[in-house]
Amino acid sequence: MAAGLILELKTGKWLAYAAALQIGSIKDVLGRKVCMVKEVQSRLTNHGIAFYTSGQLFLEEYYVLAMVGKAGLNTLHMDGNTRLCTATAAAAMRESFGCDGQPGSYSDIDCTGCLFLVGHNPSATQTVLWSRMLDRLDGPNPPKLIVVDPRTSDTAKRATVHLKPKVGTNLALLNGIQHLLFKNGWINKSYVETHVIGLEDLKQVVSKYTPEIVEQITGIPPLELQKAAEIIGTAESLVSTALQGVYQSNQATASACQINNINLLLGHIGKAGSGVLQMNGQPTAQNNREAGCDGEYPGFRNFQNPKHMQETADVWNIEFMKMPHWNQPTHIENMLNFIANGSIEVFWISGTNPLVSLPNLGKVRDVLTQPNLFIICQDIYPTETTAIADVVLPAAQWGEKSGCFTNVDRTVHLSRKAVEPPGEAKSDLEIFIDFARRMKFTDKDGNVLIPWSTSKEVFEAWKKMSKGRPCDYSGLTYQKLTSGIQWPCNAEYPYGRERLYDDGKFFTDAEYCESYGHDLETGAPLTRVQYDALNPAGRAILKSAHYKPALEEPDAEYPLKLTTGRNVHHFHTRTKTGRTKLQQACPEPVVQISETDAKAAGIQDGEYVVVKSRRGAVEMKCSVGSIEAGQAFIPFHFGYFDSKDGRARAANELTTEQWDPISKQPTFKSGAIRIEKCADEFGVVKIHARENHTSTVRHAEDVKREAVGRKPASGNVRRLELWLGATHDTLEGLATIYNDLIPKLVHDMEIHAGLRVMNRITHDMLDALTPHMDKYHESHQYGHPAARHLRETTFADWSESLDPLEALNALVHLRMYMSYIEGHLIALGPASQAIWDKPFNEAVLFAQKELGRQQAWVAQHIKVKSPQTLLVPMVPKADLQETAYSRE
C-alpha cells in the first residue's frame, strides 16, 4: 500500500514557479499545481499541457480524466500506457468489425474445439485464464492447441502444434495459413458471402504466401504450417487470441487483422466455442479505451463523424467547436516530441512508470528531465518516474477506492473499497475532480462541468455517454453489479450480451462505426467518401496486407533479433511485485538465447553478458535454451528503484522508438542486438554497462534547483501568423498566374475562359480568408520567398510558344502550385479548430472546397489534352522552329 508516501516537493522547480506567481504558503500543493497549469495555459495555450495515464485506474476515473482533457481543456494531448499495451487490439477490431469490443466470451474456451494463441503466453501472463485452458487440455475431449511463439514457453510446451516464427514475421505466417484455407476449400462460403467484404483482395494477397515462401520469411517448416492450417481449417469451432507477440511486433495491426480474418473466413465468430479475443493486458485497459483517455473518444465515437462529436458535445453541454476532434488524440511518442521541442511544458503522469516502460530509455530520460518541463506524477509508490517529478501526488490503489473495471470479454465488475487509503493518499477520482473544480471548468451555460464527487455519480453520468453505443452501460447500476455483467447492457440486453455479432451484423455501418479504417501499410486514415465506396453496411471487413520486414533487421554488427516481454513472477515495472516475496523468486533479469548462439559466442548458461543495441547497453546473466537461434528475449520488468550493483538492466535501454503506423503502439518486440562476454580471459567479471538513471535524476535535480527564482523563458513566437501570411501569398500568386502567365502559355480558348472563372474563385477565397488574416495579424516574414520562389521556378522559364507537350506540362505545373496551396490550407484546418475559432475554421473549409474545384478543373484539362498529345506522333519542337505555328 502507499503508506509513507506523502505529497512531496521533489526539486526547487515548484518553488521557482510559486515565487514567480507570488504564492505565499506551500501547503496547498494542489492549488499551486493549478496555478502552474494556468501559467502555462496563458503562455502556450492549453496545448502546452499533456496527460499520460494508465490501464490500472477505474472506469469512473478515466471518464472524469477524459472530461478534464477534452471538455475542460479542449485538447487532444491525452494518452495512456494502454498505447503500449492494447492500442493494436482496439485498432484491429476497428479495422475488421468497425468498432472496438471483443466478439467473444471467456466461456467459449470451455467448449471450443481449437485454441489458436498468437504471441500470447498465458502460462506466464494470464495464469487464471491459463488454468481455465488447462482444465480443458487435461479434461475429456480436449481442444487442439496451436501456439505461435518464437520461444518454447510453458504455454508452447502444451501445444498440439508449436509454430516458432522469427520475431517480426507474424504477417507472413498468418497470410500463409489463409493461403492454405483458400487452397484446401476450408472457407465457409455461405458465411463469407453474406457477412464479409474484401474477399477477393485478401485472396489475391495471400495467394503469394505458399508454405515455401512462408518458410523463407519465418523459418517455419512447410509441414508444420500445413498441420496447423489443417487443424484450424477443419476444427468444428475456434477461439483465436492475440497479445503482445502480435501487438508489439512488426506490422502489428495488419497482423492482428489477419487473426480476425481467419475466424471470419471460417464463420467461427459469434457462436458458442468460437470467437476472437484480441486480449487485453492491464486490468482496465478496456475502460481507458471506452472512456476515451488515449486514442479513443468516449463511447467509441468516431472523430471523423461530426454527428458523433456533436453527441459528445451535447452530453457534456459544451460548444461543438470546443470539442477537440481535429485529429486522433496525440500518442505518447508524439507527446515526447512536443516536449522535446518545448511546446509542452506541463506533463501529468498518472498510474504509469514511463522511465522504465517506454522504449529507448536514454532518450526518454533526456526528454523528461528537461529543465523547462514541469512533471506531475500520481502514483501509489515511489518509482523511477516519481524520482524526476516536480510534484508527486500520492494515489489510493484499487482496494482503497470503489469503481468499475471491465475485462476482455466485456464483463463489467464493481470493485468496492476494502480499506482506507494510507496517509494523505487520495483516489485518482478525487484528485481529478479536485483539479477540475479548482480550474473552474464550466459547461456552455456556466454550470460546473464536473459536478460529481462519488464514483457512483460518475457511473450514472457515464451511462448517459455510453447509451446507444456498442459499449452501452445504460442498463447497469452499482446495485445490479453484484457479479460481472457483459456490455452491452441496456433495454434490449438487460443481463448483458454474451457474444457480439451472433446475428452476423457488425458495427460497420458508416453512421455507427468507430472508424473508417486505415491503409494498413501507411497508416493513413480512410475518408468518409472512401468508406462509403467500400460500403460495408454491417458486414465485417477482410483487411489484407503484404509482409514487409521490420525497419531494423539484424546485420553483421548486431546479428540477433531482440524481443522483450514478461516473467510469471513480476508485474510490469515491479512497483508491486518487487516489494513482495516474488522478488526473491525472480531477483534479476536474464537474457535468453539459443544453444546455437551461446555456443558460437562461447557463452555458458548463467554467465554475465553485455547486450548492446544501437541505442544502449545492459548487462545481465544469460539463460541458454528454449528459444530459436538468432533471437534473444529479455523481460522488461527491471528498472532501477531497487538496483544495487550499478549495472544497466532495463530492457528498454535497447529498444527502438518505432511504432505501428495504425495503432501507434511501440514495437517493443523488435530491433537488433549483439551479445558479448563480461568476463575477461582470466574469468574476471567487470561492469561494462553502467546505469545512467541515477546520475540523470541527480543532474536534473541540480539543474532545477539552480533554476529556482528564474522566470519562464519569454520571447516564444507563434507561427500561425507566419503561416497565414504564406497562405495569403500563395493565393495572390495564383491570381497572378491566372492573370499573367497561363494565357501567354496555353493557346486554347477553353482554357482562357476557364482561367477567368478560376481567377474569380481565387478572389472569393482571398475574401473569405482576409478577415482572419487581419484578426491574427498575418505576418509576411516567412511567406514571400517560398511562394514566390515556387512560382518563379515553376512558370518563369517558359517561352511563349509552347508545343502541345509543353502546354500540357504548364497545366501540370499549375496543379503542382495548387498542391502547395492545398498543403497550407490542410495545415490551417486543424489549427483553426484547435484555436476554437468557428468563423476562421469555416473560412478555411470554404477555401479548401474552392481550391478543390480548381484542382478538378485543371485535372480535367490535363485529361482533355493528354491522349492526343501523348499518343499521336508529332514533329519534335526543334524541327518546328520556323513554322507558322511557332511564329503565331
Ligand X SMILES: Nc1nc2c(c(=O)[nH]1)N[C@H]1C(S)=C(S)[C@@H](COP(=O)(O)OP(=O)(O)OC[C@H]3O[C@@H](n4cnc5c(=O)[nH]c(N)nc54)[C@H](O)[C@@H]3O)O[C@H]1N2
Q: Using the rule CB under 6 A, give the single segment among 150-158, 410-418, 444-452, 674-682 that binds ligand X.
A: 150-158
Closer to Mo ion by Cβ: residue 280 or 402: 280
| Span of 195-203, 344-352, 843-851, 866-874 interacting with ligand X by CB under 6 A | 344-352
Give the CA count within 13 Å in the CB-facing half-sphere of 610: 18
Strands 590-593 and 617-624, by their bridges, are parallel
CB of 85 to Mo ion, least distance (A): 3
Q: Which stretch binds ligand X (CB under 6 A): 147-155, 362-370, 465-473, 501-509?
A: 147-155
Q: Considering the complex, what minimum distance in angstroms separates the CB of residue 357 from Mo ion? A: 9
Whether 282 and 54 have beta carbons less than 8 Å apart is answered as: yes
Task: Determine the interface stretch with ligand X among 149-157, 202-210, 447-455, 858-866 (rule: CB under 6 A).
Answer: 149-157
Task: Specify the residue, 33 or 539, whose C-beta has the smaller distance to ligand X.
Answer: 33
Q: Is 282 in the site for ligand X (CB under 6 A)?
A: yes
Confirm or reject binding of residue 352 to ligand X (CB under 6 A).
yes
Beta bridge partners of 50: 347
Q: Which is nearer to ligand X, 56 or 312 (CB)?
A: 56
Q: How many CB atoms lie within 10 A of CB 862?
A: 16
Q: Which is nearer to ligand X, 168 or 324 (CB)?
A: 168
Annotate 8-17 with b (16+ C-beta within 10 A) or e (fewer).
eebbbbbbbb
Which residue is it, cell 501523348?
870
Query: Diameter of the chain by CA atoms?
Result: 98
Closest-by-Cβ residue to ligand X is 281
User: 398 touches which of ligand X, Mo ion, none (CB within 5 to 8 A by kind)?
Assistant: ligand X
State the nearest-atom distance from the C-beta of 361 to ligand X, in Å.
9
CB of 359: closest distance to ligand X in angstroms? 7
Report the 10 Å Cβ neighbour count for 651.
Answer: 27
What secondary structure letter does DSSP report for 277?
E
Interface with Mo ion by CB under 5 A: which residues? 85, 281
Nearer to Mo ion, 104 or 281 (CB): 281
Grid cell in block for residue 515? 472508424
Cβ nearer to ligand X, comparing 249 with 508: 249
Least Å distance between CB 139 and ligand X? 23
| Cβ–Cβ under 8 Å, residues 188 and 264 | no
Residues 644-673 close enough to bind ligand X by CB under 6 A: 651-652, 655, 668-669
- Residue found by looking up cell 487490439 in the block: 89
Cis amide leading into 559 (omega within 30): no
The secondary structure of 140-179, three-state, reads CCCCEEEEECCECCHHHHCCCEEECCCCCCHHHHHHHHHH
- Please report the sign of the dihedral spanned by the C-alpha atoms of residue 603, residue 604, residue 609, residue 613: positive
Q: Which of 630, 629, 634 is nearest to 651 (CA)?
A: 634
Nearest to 573 by CA among 250, 282, 336, 252: 282
Q: Which is nearer to ligand X, 579 or 789 (CB)?
A: 579
Minimal CA–CA distance to 745: which of 810, 794, 793? 810
Q: Are 830 and 327 in contact (CB under 8 A)?
A: yes
Rounded CA separation 301/861 (Å): 41
Q: Where are the beta strands (DSSP E) in 625-715?
A: 631-635, 672-677
- Select 255 or 794, whichever has its Cβ closest to ligand X: 255
Which residue type, as a one-letter code, is found at position 552? E
**By CB under 6 A, residue 397 contacts ligand X:** yes
75 binds, among Mo ion, ligand X, none (CB under 5 to 8 A by kind): none
**Which residue in 398, 501, 640, 840 binds ligand X (CB under 6 A)?**
398
Task: Tell me if 268 contacts ligand X by CB under 6 A.
Answer: no
Please tell me whether residue 244 binds ligand X under the rule CB under 6 A.
yes
Q: Please, which residue, 655 or 696, has the CB nearer to ligand X?
A: 655
Query: Taking CB under 6 A as the rule, does residue 378 contact ligand X?
Result: yes
Q: Which range of residues in 12-20, 108-116, 349-357, 526-534 is near ligand X by CB under 6 A?
A: 349-357
* 515 contact choice in Mo ion, ligand X, none (CB below 5 to 8 Å, kind-dependent): none
| All cell numbers assigned to 700 | 536534473
Q: Considering beta carbons, is residue 119 or 267 the nearer one to ligand X?
A: 119
Distance of alpha carbon 132 from alpha carbon 141, whole angstroms? 14
Calpha distance 297→514 (Å, rounded): 9
Mask for 201-230, x = binds ligand X (CB under 6 A)? ------------------------------
Q: Which does 591 bind (CB under 5 to 8 A by kind): Mo ion, ligand X, none?
A: none
Query: How many residues line the site for ligand X (CB under 6 A)?
Result: 63
Measure the CA–CA gap between 393 and 386, rounded to whole angstroms: 9
Cα dihedral 160→164→165→168 (10° resolution): 110
What does 148 bind: Mo ion, ligand X, none (CB cut-off 5 to 8 Å by kind)? ligand X
106 binds ligand X (CB under 6 A): no
Interface positions with ligand X (CB under 6 A): 54-57, 81, 84-85, 118-121, 124-126, 148-151, 153, 165, 167-168, 170, 243-245, 248-249, 281-282, 350-354, 356-357, 378-381, 383, 395, 397-398, 428, 563-566, 568, 570-573, 575, 633, 636, 651-652, 655, 668-669
